[in-house]
Structure 1
Amino acid sequence: MLKRKSQTKSYNTTLLSIGKIILETHYGHFSREWWIVTKRNINDQATLLVLIRLGMQTLTKLNSYDFIITVLEPNMEISPSPRYQAICYFINNELINGDICTNSSFAITSLYKHLFGTKTKFSGPLVMGFTKRLL
């Protein structure tokens, strides 16, 4: 049987703001919404628990443009999960705000689709550098 090598895209991500830990949010009833289980790479057997901090901001270059992803407070009427917003410094340094989303992948993918008209999809945790131990 032919074993296919799995490839994972790597992004150059910079942590702009570490954000803050809110005890009730991060260790309370809905704490599972604020942690990500990930691996450093596809061959790594060990898993990492990564804390999603409120106000955390990361910078990643996609298609030669700067994308900043920010973790926002949840809307408790909808979900106790963090919300995300992607922004991009586009042509002539015009700031384009993406929609506020409950999923980091959708926040990045939808803004990218709006700007470039493509069907490219992104993994939010990967783009935000959660596999790189930024914190």
Structure 2
Amino acid sequence: MGRLGTFRSTCRLGLLLALACGSEVVVMAQSTSSATCTVRIRPREAADYDLSTEVTIHGVVDGWEGRSLRIRLAAGVLWVDTGGWNTSNLFEAGTPLEVLASRSVVEGRQRFLAREIRHARGVLTIRDAFGAPIQAGSL
């Protein structure tokens, strides 16, 4: 029967209702063949980054340890995972930063994954807009 058959059935139903009720019935049919649907597939590497939990952290560099940057806040020191980036050569202790990061809780502890680090000389992009890591050597 297809779409044409469905349209005819809808028109017949409308006509029957109009005759039964004695009132005017407007029947409208719309084809969905022109509707568009956008599907965004995130890479597997972005699975640990949740865009809905992004926060902005303002503080100064306290130090580094491996893949983590320690940021001093008024309330204490916060560890931010920088992925494959070694930031020890990029920022001196005391450098003010603004970090865009995803916050999660793993085994009862807060975890922050950096996406962007904004500083006086510019912006260091660690992950793309979908949360997928950008390799340190790719820039």
TM-score by length of 2: 0.24
In terms of fraction of residues, the more strand-rich structure is: 2
TM-score by length of 1: 0.24
